[in-house]
Amino acid sequence: MFWKPNARSGVPIYLQLMEQVKHAVETGALRSGEQLPGIRKMAEDLVINPNTVAKAYRELEHEGVIELRQGFGAFVTKNGAAAESRERRKMQDAQVLVKGAADCLAALGLDEQQMRRLFETEMTRLRESSGGGK
């Protein structure tokens, strides 16, 4: 499938799995009602501890992205798919804005590193103006 956790990333594997499942729902690779691989199967395929997969699934269930059905497995929820669909539309709209900004900056002659510095500076400004939140 499309699960590829990176043990060297510094991000816990269960969080990587959660993000990958959410991304799969956002992009339509997983749809409402679709079953995810079983815990043991995914753990074997990824060569990770089954408890890691179980933790990711429990957290995804807590967030409403999936539903765990005893004896049947994990399934994408309608609410999770709808929420991810809204998130997908928001991200698509944002991508258009980011692309436009990047194109304008490139037209000004800025290189990738300069663009990154500008973006990071703005992110810092936003964080500070909102009282230090994410």
How many CB atoms within 10 Å of residue 60?
24
Dihedral of the alpha carbons of 113, 114, 116, 120, in degrees to the nearest 10: 140
Give the pLDDT confidence of 64-101 residue by residue, as tens digits.
899 999 889 999 988 665 666 667 777 778 888 999 99
| 40, pLDDT greater than 90 | yes
pLDDT at 44: 93
Q: Tens of pLDDT along 106-130?
A: 999 999 999 999 999 999 998 888 8
First-to-last CA distance in the chain? 32
Q: Is the pLDDT of residue 133 over 60?
A: no
Residue 85 is predicted with a pLDDT of 63
Q: Where are the domains of the chain?
A: 1-108
Q: With contact defined as beta carbons under 8 Å apart, do 20 and 14 qualify?
A: no
In sequence order, the 6+-apart residues with CB closer than 8 A to the CB of 25 are 31, 65, 76, 80, 81, 84
Question: For residue 4, what pLDDT is reported?
Answer: 85
CATH architecture of the domain 1-108 equals: Orthogonal Bundle (1.10)
